Amino acid sequence: MSDPMRIRAAVKGEKVEVKILMSHVMETGQRKDAEGAVVPAHYITKVTASCNGRDVLSADWGPSVSKNPYLSFRFKGGAKGDKLKVTWTDTAGDSRSDEVSIG
Amino acid sequence: MCSSRLLALGLWLIAASASAAPAWEALGKPLAANEIASWDIDVRPDGVGLPPGHGSVEEGQVVYDTHCASCHGTFGESTDYLALAGGVGSLGTATPQRTVGSKLDYATTLWDYINRAMPFNRSKALSVNEVYAVTAYVLNLNDILPADAVLDERSLPQVEMPNRKGFTQAHGMMRADGKPDVRNTACMKDCLKTPPQVSSALPAGFTHQLYGELGPHFRQFMVAAPAAAAPTPAALAASNGCLACHAAQQTRVGPAFADVARRYAAVADAPAQLRQKVRAGGSGVWGSALMPPQTTVTDAALDQILGWILAGAAAP
C-alpha cells in the first residue's frame, strides 16, 4: 500500500478549494536505469474525487504527470463538514482512497 | 625551516601585541550581558539557545499557509522554489532532493533557520511561538511529527531526524546546485605555511599624511563616555511613580505638589515631616485617598524630589 495522500479542502467563498499531494513514483515506462534496462511503466491512470458520495472530479491521467503529483481544483456545492473522498488507480492495479472533512 | 619561521612569527606576534597594546587599550568597552545576548542568537543541536515557547502543528498550518506556502507549496512540495518535504533517502542517488526531511540532521537547525531567515521577504517577522508552530508543521509535512504534536524548547531537541548521521556541508543548504556557505576546513595544527603579509591598497603613509595621528581622536570619543546627566527632580518623581497620583499643579488622586508646597511653606522641618509621610504613607490629610508607603525610592532621590516640591514643583 502506498503512502497516504495529503488533502486539504476548505470553503473559499462559494466554492470549495481542494489541494491534494499524492505519493507515487509515476514511472513513464521510457526511462532506463543505470544498466540500460527500461524501468517499467507505473503511473496513475484515474483520479476521482467525490463530495458526500457525489462525483466532483474525474480525471484520466497518463505518463506525462510528474512524480508525487500535486493537484488543485475547486468545485461548487460543497459545505463545511462534508466528506471529500479522493481515489486514484494506477497501471499496476493499485488503488488508494483518502477522505477528509471540508474545513 | 618551518618551525623556525613559526617561532619567528610567534615572537613577532608577541612583540606586536606588546607594543600595540597601550595604543589601543583604551578603545572599546566590555559588553554588558544584554548586549552579548542580543548577538548570541544561535541555536545549537542540543537545544542550547532555544528561547522558551511552544507551538502546535495545527497552529503552524495557519502560519505556514500565510507566510510560507506561496513559495514552498501547500504541502512543502514546491518544485520551482525550495521543497521542504520529501526526498528522504535520495541524497546518495543521481537526483538528490535536499529537503528538511532528507537533509537536516537536527530539528533545532530548522528552528534556527526559520527564526533567522524566514519569511524570505520579512525575516524576524514571526514570533517565537510562531516559529515553534511552523517548525512543528514542517516536520509534520515530512511525516516526522504526528498531526497533534506540540513543540517547545524541551521537546524540539528530542525530535529524531531521518538523516541524523548523514549531514554533509559539501553543497548548499538545500538546493542540489547550491554552493556551500564556506569551503574552508578547520586547521588545527601547523597551519601557517608562510607568515601573513599585511598590506594596504593605499600608498604607504597615505592615511597618516591625510589625517595625522588618528589615535587621540578615537580615544576622545571612545574612552570615557561623558557621564549621563543627573536626572532632574521631576524626572525622579516620574521614575519613582509619584506622578501616577500627583501632578505639579492639579489635584488628582493625591494633592498637587504646588498645594503641598503652600501648606508647608511656613513649617520649619517640612522636609523631615514630608519624608516621614512619604515613607509611611497615609490618608485623611488631603482626602480619603490612600497614599501607599513608598519604600523603593532612595533617600537621595526622595530629598531631591521633596526639595523640588517645596520649591513649588516648577516644570523642568
Q: Does residue B197 carry a pLDDT above 90? A: no
pLDDT at B217: 63
Handedness of CA A31, A34, A36, A37 (dihedral sign): negative
Mutate one of A2, A8, A35, A66 to test the B interface: name it (highest B CB count within 10 A).
Answer: A8
For B27-44, write each residue's pLDDT tens digit: 777 888 888 888 888 899
Residue type, B110: L
Q: What does the pLDDT average to over B255-263?
A: 90
**CA-nearest residue of chain B to A68?**
B77
Query: Where along chain A do its domains lie?
Result: 6-101
Q: Collapsing DSSP states into helix, strand and coil, what is residue B188?
A: coil
Q: Which domains does chain B have, with CATH numbers?
A: 41-158 (1.10.760.10), 233-310 (1.10.760.10)
Judged against a pLDDT cut of 50, whether residue B243 lies above it is answered with yes
Confidence check: pLDDT of B9 > 70? no
Residue A68 has its nearest CB partner, among B74, B86, B141, at B86
Q: What is the mean pLDDT of residues B172-192?
A: 69
Chain A residues near residue B141 by CB distance under 8 angstroms = 6
Contact B75 A6 (CB under 8 A): yes
Q: Summarize the confidence of residues B106-133 as an average pLDDT.
A: 89
Q: Is B75's Cβ below 8 Å from some Cβ in A?
A: yes
Q: How many Cα atoms sit within 13 Å of A67 on the Cβ side?
A: 10
Say which residue, A41 or B288, is predicted with more confidence.
A41
CA atoms within 13 A on the CB side of B9: 15
Which residues from chain A sit within 8 angstroms of residue B70, using beta carbons?
A: none
**What is the interface size between A and B, counted as CB pairs within 8 Å?**
17
Q: Which chain B residue is nearest to residue A69, measuring alpha carbons? A: B77
Q: What is the pLDDT of residues B62-89, one digit of tens each?
A: 899 888 888 888 888 877 678 888 878 8
pLDDT (0 to 100) of residue B180: 65
Q: pLDDT at position B316, please?
A: 63
B35 or B57, which is more confident? Answer: B57
For residue B17, what pLDDT is reported? 46
Task: Indicate if ipTM > 0.95.
Answer: no
* Integer Cα distance of B171 and B79 in angstroms: 19
Chain A residue with minimum CA distance to B74: A19
Query: In chain B, which residue ranges form alpha helices assigned H by DSSP?
Result: 2-24, 33-39, 57-67, 69-72, 100-103, 107-117, 128-141, 206-211, 215-222, 233-239, 257-263, 270-280, 299-310
Chain B residues in contact with A19 (beta carbon < 8 A):
74-75
Interface touch A70/B86, C-beta < 8 Å: no
Residues of chain B in contact with residue A68, where contact means CB-CB under 8 angstroms, are 77, 86
Q: What is the mean pLDDT of chain B?
A: 79
CATH topology of domain A6-101: Immunoglobulin-like (2.60.40)
Shortest distance between the Cα of B60 and any Cα of chain A, in A, equals 15
Specify the amino acid at residue B113.
Y
- pLDDT-derived band of residue B174, with 50, 70 and 90 as boundaries? low
Chain A interface includes B74 (CB < 8 A): yes
Query: Which chain A residue has the Cα nearest residue B142?
Result: A6
| Mean pLDDT computed over A57-85 | 92
d(CA B47, CA B228): 40
Least Cα distance to B88 among A68, A90, A7 occurs for A68
